Amino acid sequence: SAVGRGPEVPFRSEAYGISALARGKELRLTLSALDPAAGPPAQDLVLRFGMSGSFRLCPAAELPRHAHLRFLTRESPPRALCFVDPRRFGSWRLGDAWQPERGPCVVSEYQAFRENVLKNLDDRAFDKPICEALLNQKYFNGIGNYLRAEILFRLKIPPFEKARTVLEALKEQEQRKKDPSLTLSKKVKLRQENPDLLELCHTVPMEVIMAEKQLLDPEHMDNYAAFKNWLQCYLVPGMSSLRDRSGRTIWFQGEPGPMAPKGQRPRKTPRKKSPQLKADPEAPSPKVTPHALKRRRRAAGSPPKSEEEEKEEEADGPRKGRARGRKKVTAAPALPEVPLNVRRSRRTSARRGKG
């Protein structure tokens, strides 16, 4: 598209196919002509999705906004396979080379990924908290913000525990699992019942990949609700959150760990309020003035008085405590006696006048 930030793809062919290969957080597309003799040579491009990038197949006449790459089909009417990226954090580059600083993929290269981590524990990258180390794509290629929260939550590991402390313990577990006295079935059972951090870095993303049609389809909100239900920690009400030293928010439960940033207090994700019954929108709500509201509160606090009680109050004078906080006033001069029925009518009319 005209506003796309990536380079122009120099590939033109009337009939071509697209194949894809994923590695961690990168995806390599290969465009190849169906007739290699008559068409142009194959073209590779490697994409990163950022936070909002995705592919969408739609009618060519109804392109979505922010469709920065478009591959048209030969159908009638044609459709378009679009790389859509509203926030433009994604990118692509020409060629078939993966980024050199990225390690083995946690999904497709699990054994190489595991060995790469355990043999490099003396690297300064593991001096950091485990939640920050999990975002280092040199060692954890494919792990992002929501995955690190889910992995640490399942293992009940504080996010700000030192990474080397957590990972060095895996070497001892590795030796126990390689005990020659254990049968193959016992080794498999031991791994299933006691998965370690590196194993969950493989199995948790696989859960999402195996169910991606149900969990990650942004076109259907019901399916996105299924993804939210799958989450156990990330953005879940009741969980705590802190910002790590790179500014990313980590969700967790319990204590943050000894390397938690100083000066921050964990914030809890508010729980959802219980649904309340809504009033009838068509029923008019009565207007209540402040003065009428005071009268209602007084009436609710004390029951209405009978005529005999009013007479007794007038005879006994004001009760103790009624004049607290009021200024003292001098006694008024004596007035001529007024009949009882006249006094009551004056009091009633005064009350009405106040309203």
pLDDT tens by residue, the chain, 355 residues? 888 788 999 898 889 999 999 999 999 999 999 998 888 999 999 999 988 888 999 999 999 989 999 999 988 999 999 999 998 889 999 999 999 999 999 999 999 999 999 999 999 999 999 999 999 999 999 999 999 999 999 999 999 999 999 999 887 776 666 666 666 666 556 565 578 999 999 999 999 888 776 665 555 555 677 888 899 999 999 999 999 999 999 999 999 999 999 988 888 877 765 444 444 444 444 455 556 555 555 555 554 444 444 444 444 444 445 545 555 544 444 444 555 555 555 555 555 555 5
pLDDT of residue 264: 87
pLDDT of residue 218: 54
Rounded-to-integer distance, Cα 227 and Cα 237, Å: 15
Strands (E), the chain: 16-23, 26-33, 43-48, 54-59, 67-72, 79-84, 91-94, 240-243, 249-252, 267-268
| Interacting residues of 233 by C-beta distance below 8 A, sequence separation 6+ | 149, 150, 152, 153, 239, 251, 252, 253
pLDDT of residue 273: 57
Rounded-to-integer distance, Cα 20 and Cα 40, Å: 19
| Interacting residues of 284 by C-beta distance below 8 A, sequence separation 6+ | none
| Of the candidates 104, 82, 91, 119, the residue with the CA atom closest to the CA atom of residue 22 | 104
pLDDT of residue 39: 86
- At residue 76, φ and ψ (nearest 5 deg) are -130, 110
Indicate the helix (H) or strand (E) that contains 111: helix 110-118
What is the three-class DSSP state of 285?
Answer: coil
Beta bridge partners of 59: 79
- Amino acid letter, residue 81: L
Which tokens in the block code for residue 13? 């062919």
pLDDT of residue 145: 94
Place of tokens 């239900």: 229
pLDDT of residue 215: 60
Beta bridge partners of 43: 31
pLDDT of residue 48: 93
Domains of the chain: 16-94 (3.20.190.10), 110-269 (1.10.8.50)
pLDDT of residue 175: 66
pLDDT of residue 21: 95
Place of tokens 């048209």: 72
In terms of residues, how long is the chain?
355
pLDDT of residue 245: 93
Asked if residues 118 and 171 have their Cβ atoms less than 8 Å apart, the reply is yes
